[in-house]
Amino acid sequence: MARTRWALLATAGLLLGTSATAAETQAVEKGAMPKPTMRAVFEEIKRLLPLSLDEERWSQPANRARVLESLDRLEQAASVLEHHGRSREVGFDELALSLGRDIREARNHYADADYSEARFFLAGSLQNCVSCHVRLPSAQTFEMADELTDQIEIQSLDPRERAWLNVMVRRFDDALTSWEALMADPEISPGQLDASGVLVDYLNVALRVRMDVERASKTLGKFAARKDLPVYLARRVSTWRNALTSLEGERIGPGQPPSVDVGAKLAREGGELAEGPYGRNGLIQDLAAASVLVRFLEADRAKMEAETRNRTQEERTATSRAYYWLGVVEARSLDGFWVNLAERHFEAAIRSDPRGPFAERAYAQLEETQVLGFGGASSDHLPLDVWTNLKELRELMGAE
């Protein structure tokens, strides 16, 4: 049970955001996921999730047929989302692909009576939903949320699990309130809150989705007043509070159009602060940078779809630069354990402008993460698909 629940509600990668202009909002809404499909996904999750939280009911023979039927319908809906994701910034595409893969894994494991692994992959599939919902600013709510959250199995989840479930059903303010209560609870040590990801989770949603710098500042101010903060965390919270103050300026304020220059500058600032074994001191700048860059890339893609022309060299370089710095901050601060978006964005930086100034830098980052990710394997021992993709990218760049 612990494994499944952690997969469901672990820290999501790429929880980015700030406010959008009216034009950006219109572009985002135009590219939003089709509502009938999202409703179909929700209906199946509403049936499956409570069952998966009860190991005995999940594996009961009496439930087997309806679980498999529900997983089949969920897989069909995920296929529609996969197709839709291709028309958006590549991070959305990767999340849609990951959702489809996870649902197929859950279905196949369940069909083989491997119920534990089926539960694990079903929970993981929800991580994709969470990550997708928090990539851009949102004032949306989900009117059917009560149909899921009021079920007794959901009520039995611990507060952090319920918080992430609220994110999944777009109850963002309820999620923030839950995290604030955890941060104020004297029975939970600050070190526990940090280690479990509560602080990062909270800042992700507060800044990315709700664009509420003031709320985040007030919450960190109360948290900083706790007498039991370890030295490292007291210093880090102080750094975060100073960074939040700087975000109230014109660089990413409400209504500001997304700028690659601003995103790159924030990413560099985050890197300068990224001290210590986990590099979290620059988290606020990284969140802000990622927010600006995702907004830019989504608006850029919508603009190009509306125009029948090739990109200029300047536009190709700007897109490549945005993808490169987005990959950098994701790899450093935001990349979740479930979906690796940093690699996809480094690849996009190369493909956007293969002979441009950011291609080689992006390739070096991508190659390092993949070689080290496979235990330092030589190119001869990398999986064939990984090796083939790297080779193709080098050819595009004109490199040996």
The 10s digit of each residue's pLDDT in 124-173 is: 887 777 777 766 767 666 555 565 555 555 556 777 878 878 887 778 88
- Indicate whether this model's pTM tops 0.85: no
Residue 334 DSSP label: I
At residue 28, the pLDDT reads: 38
At residue 272, the pLDDT reads: 92
Residues of the chain with pLDDT under 70: 1-38, 83-87, 134-135, 137, 139-156, 248-255, 335-338, 375-380, 400
CA dist list (Å): 54 to 4, 30, 60: 11, 39, 10
Q: SS3 helix, strand, coil % of the chain, rounded to 5?
A: 70, 0, 30
At residue 191, the pLDDT reads: 95
Residues 124, 102: Cα–Cα separation, whole Å: 7
Residues 208, 341: Cα–Cα separation, whole Å: 17
Please tell me whether residue 174 adopts helix, strand or coil conformation.
helix
At residue 30, the pLDDT reads: 43
Residue 220 DSSP label: H
**Cβ-contact 347, 359 below 8 angstroms:** no
Which sign does the torsion angle of CA 170, 77, 26, 255 carry?
Answer: positive
- Residues 378-390 as b or e (16 or more Cβ within 10 Å = b): eeeebeeebbebb
**Cβ-contact 333, 204 below 8 angstroms:** no
CA dist list (Å): 369 to 355, 364, 381: 21, 9, 15
165-219 confidence digits (pLDDT tens)? 888 777 888 899 999 999 999 999 999 999 988 998 899 889 878 888 999 999 9
**Cβ-contact 179, 200 below 8 angstroms:** no
At residue 21, the pLDDT reads: 39
Helix axes 260-273, 283-306, angle to 10 degrees: 160
